[in-house]
Chain A
Amino acid sequence: MFSRQRDEAEPPVAFTVDGERFFGRATDSVAAAMLLNGKVATKRAAVSGSLRAPYCMMGVCFECLVAIDGIGNRQACLVRLREGMVIETGSNRRGVPA
């Protein structure tokens, strides 16, 4: 969906999304790094469960909610990508334990 055309010589930053390994750059937000790597969907809508993805990229729409390093419901567009970050999608809906 999004690609980087001019790759400046900056060191890659490794991170995982739902267990899969990807690379971004230090200037990327988590949301940008996810979009760059084709991991577009971040959460499911509260009622219908349909997939949602970043919309505003500036922290007002709350569609980019993901779990980052174990903490859920973080706005991915506001968090700078860091080496080794563990991202999990679908964190906004919790199952009720049986």
Chain B
Amino acid sequence: MTSAGASDYDVIVVGAGPAGLAAATLCASHGVSTLLLDEQYGPGGQIYRAIAETPLRDRSLLGKDYWRGKKLLRDFENCLAHYQAGATVWAIASNLETAYSVGGKARLAKPQKIILATGALERPAPIRGWTLPGVMTAGAAQILLKTSGLTSSGPTVLAGSGPLLWLLAWQYLRMGRKLDAILDTTPLTNYASAAGRIGPFLASPYFFKGLKLLLQVRAKVRVWSHVTELYAGGGDKVEFVGFKCAVGISRKIAVDTLLLHQGVIPNTSLTRALNCEHVWNELQACWQPVADEAGRTSVPGVAIAGDGSQISGALAAEHSGRIAALGALADLGILSKKDAANLAGTHRNALRNASTGRAFLDTLYRPSRALLSPLGETVVCRCEEVTAEQIRSAVDHGCQGPNQLKAFLRCGMGPCQGRLCGPTVTNIISDQTGRSPTDVGSYRIRQPIKPVTLDELSGLTAKNSDKISVNR
């Protein structure tokens, strides 16, 4: 692994999480010139965040699964791929030329193939008061823990549904941190639906691990189950979380930090900006890029691997990365289709094993309708402060879809480019009109997908062909 200069590569991999690290390592091991670009200042993506330099060196604190990342990183460091940290990819042209910025300077690199391993983000799950300072995602708290060894210092409540919620609670307890409550919003009805899928889950690696974790947390933390309503309140920062349970109990708990979680969904910024086809995953209630068995998207030369392709977890992601790498190697002619398929066989089996039990988890932890498509004064577009009520009203007044909503309400027009409101907008319009999410569609995303200054753009060297194309 060496640091990158500005030249052209056979393969560019975007994202240094498990899928990206594995993909780049495999490509480089077959002698292909590979560049790994990652926005964060250290490798590991989100799940293995700060794996190279976490201050929490006592391995029992974060748990065994986290330290798998060390092996992935070591393998990558031993390969000949180039790695550029702090590289924000802001545009990819139709000829795959990739524009990215490092330390305020823009660069271009032209690969033959691109493997996107851009991962996931927390599902935005708006509640009243979620924009208050002190309200963050469970993932955010985990990042603070991994990179800086920080835990929340005042009264803290975790609210939501999904494995990460319990994992974070477990890690906080390992750090000696007390938690005031866990508000579990897993809908009561999900238990019955999930029961039908429990078979494979019982046989999966997640079952014993997850059960042990859950029991350890429940022994130490007050858990309120079947929470049907959730809201936060306060002045300049969050001061309390209010909730209602299915049994009819209503409570308010004073908090300094409120950590929300409703699962993770693919980060589709780049795939949308590239005009890849996407499909609505009804079980996971999210969009994912359409991809073949080697992650090839509908855009030639662009493959997607890992959670950015479909949420399957960290272990599945590394196998997915290797499968995409083998696909790229076959497409480059480095491997014959037959050899690539044979080599992919082991990884496909591993991917299948790592994905066992997911259907159970996805069914159990599917958020309630109320959380997926909120009502009333709940802010949906955080950037432009557009509420659920305003969106529903616009739809009643004839707004046809997410893109027209931009014109009606500026919803989706803020700096986050719809990352945090897009999913909810699709859900609300679907809810309000009775049309399916597939029919409703999603925001059209324009490049650049991250802010770029004029200074950075002017710093790019223009080739003669570039100048001619503008001066036509």
List A residues at the B interface (Cβ < 8 Å).
Answer: 1-6, 8, 10, 24-25, 27-29, 32-33, 35-36, 40-41, 45-48, 50-63, 65, 71, 73, 77-80, 92
Contact = CB atoms under 8 A, between A and B. Distances in A.
A4 B176 CA distance: 12
Nearest to B260: A55
Contacts of B150: 2-4, 32, 35-36
A3 B151 CA distance: 6
Contacts of A57: 136-137, 139-140, 143-144
A71 B55 CA distance: 29
Nearest to A29: B147
B412 to A, nearest CB: 13
A46 B426 CA distance: 23
A27 B385 contact: no
Given A46-B414, A78-B39, A4 B121 contact: no
Contact of B384 (A5, A25, A46, A59): A46
Contacts of B267: 60
B135 interface: yes
B395 to A, nearest CB: 21
Contact of B383 (A1, A8, A62, A80): A62
Which of B137, B148, B150, B384 has its CB near the most chain A CB atoms (within 10 A)? B148
B143 A5 contact: no
A57 to B, nearest CB: 4
Contacts, number: 139
Given A45-B382, A63-B382, A80-B86, 16 more contacts: A4-B148, A5-B175, A6-B56, A29-B148, A36-B150, A45-B385, A54-B140, A55-B382, A57-B137, A59-B39, A60-B267, A62-B415, A73-B451, A78-B39, A78-B41, A80-B41
B133 interface: yes
A61 B416 contact: yes
B382 A25 contact: no
Contacts of B416: 60-62
Interface stretch (B46-54, B180-188, B217-225, B343-351): B46-54
A47 B385 contact: yes
B385 A41 contact: no
